[in-house]
Every structure is written in structure tokens, then in C-alpha cells.
Amino acid sequence: MTAFADLLSIQRACSTLGLDTALSRTLVGTARPTIWFRHGDPVADAAVATGSSKVGGEPDLPPGMVWPTRPALADPDGTAEKLRASVNMATPCTDFVINHLAR
């Protein structure tokens, strides 16, 4: 996969490929900023200093601190209904999110 540093790089690639102007403009118009993660060799969590950047693995907590949790809700269905009543349900995924937050 090719990554482009900026829009001009995309325009140059389109020109090199001989794409017509309309298609080139369309491609450049659909480009969005991204972050590209490279996969490196796995590193044990114990080898990563607290506060270092990482993706995945165990939570990055100071020694002795446990991951915070909450007790189960006494009435998850009632909680979901209260949430549903207070939120704009026009958002497509709201119902899905509410149902999963209440559990």
C-alpha cells in the first residue's frame, strides 16, 4: 500500500499514472489525514515503562493500582430506559450504545 505525505504527492502520482484530470481531482478530494501504524516486534508489557506509548497489552497503571471497575447495575433495563428518554434517538447507533452501556 502506498501512503502519500500530502495532496501534492497524490496529484503527482495521478499524473504519473496518466489519470484524467476529473478522476485525479476526485481522488485528491477524497483523501483524508491518517495515522499509519507500523507493526514492530512484540514487546513484553513488563519491558514497557509506565507512561510510554503503546497499543494493546495490559492497562498502563502504576504499580499497586488496580483497574477501576463498577458494580453491576441493580436495574440495567431501567437505566437503559432512563438514558433512552434523555438522549436524542435520531442518532443511528444510540440505541445500540445505550443497550451496551447499561449492561
From first to last of its 103 residues, the chain has per-residue pLDDT tens of: 577 888 999 999 999 999 989 999 998 999 888 887 777 788 888 888 877 878 877 788 878 888 888 888 788 778 778 877 777 666 666 666 766 665 5
Q: What is the DSSP string of 28-88?
A: HHH------PPP-----GGGSPTT---SSSS----TTPPPP--PPPS-HHHHHHHHHHHS-
Element (H or E) spanning 96, and its range?
A: helix 94-101
* Single-letter code of the amino acid located at 68: P
- Kindly list the domain boundaries of the chain, sorted by start residue: 1-38, 72-103
Query: Residues 82, 73: contact at Cβ < 8 Å?
Result: no
